[in-house]
Amino acid sequence: MASVRKDINPMATNYNKDLAHLTGMERLLRFASGVDGRSGAALYYDYTFESIDEGQVCLGFEPSSEHVNLFQTVHGGVLSGLLDTAMGCALISLLAEGEHDTIIDLQTKFVRPVVIGGGPYRVLASVDHRGRRQATMSGRIVDANDRLCATATSTALII
């Protein structure tokens, strides 16, 4: 039988619907401040916002035991999810009022293992191109010694 996590707020703010009157940067800064609390993936990944600029985001990440696979390295899906989050946030920072996006492509390459105690890790993302209907982003994860651990590229549809 599946259990229900009590730390997830099913009534969390819908940033596309409830806050569509704000620019993407305003929505992102509100989310990063934690004013509405966190839910879902934000709770699971447990990242922090280190910096937010137009078209660029840096997240901080310290892996825990719930992020690792059978080999005690951080699961590739977790790393892909963190890169997806950072690249999505970088794009959100450029959206106008009423605009939102959806990721339509994500490609991740793993370079070096990410492990508990190897951090702090940084997830860096930037928008490479922002067109009227599509955008492309790139991201990377680096360890405490600035060594590359993973890279990703992504394409988003702007709605």
pLDDT at 8: 47
Res. 9: pLDDT tops 90: no
pLDDT at 6: 45
Please state, in angstroms and rounded to a whole number, the distance separating the CA atoms of residues 45 and 30: 18
Whole-prediction pTM: 0.90
Determine the residue type at 34: G
The pLDDT tens digits for 83-139 are: 999 999 999 999 999 999 999 999 999 999 999 999 899 999 999 999 999 999 999
Tell me the pLDDT band of 3, cut-offs 50, 70 and 90: very low
Question: For 139, what's the count of Cα atoms within 13 Å in the CB-facing half-sphere?
Answer: 32
pLDDT at 11: 52
Q: Which helix (H) or strand (E) holds 62?
A: none
3-state helix, strand, coil in the chain (%, to 5): 20, 35, 45
For residue 133 the two structure tokens come to: 């209907």
pLDDT at 2: 43
Res. 17: pLDDT tops 80: no
What are the CA-CA distances from residue 15 to residues 36, 55, 113, 117 (Å)? 10, 18, 33, 33
Domain 24-158 indexed as CATH 3.10.129.10 = yes
pLDDT at 34: 86
Beta bridge partners of 153: 107, 138
The pLDDT tens digits for 23-62 are: 999 999 999 998 887 777 888 999 999 999 999 999 999 9
Determine the residue type at 39: S
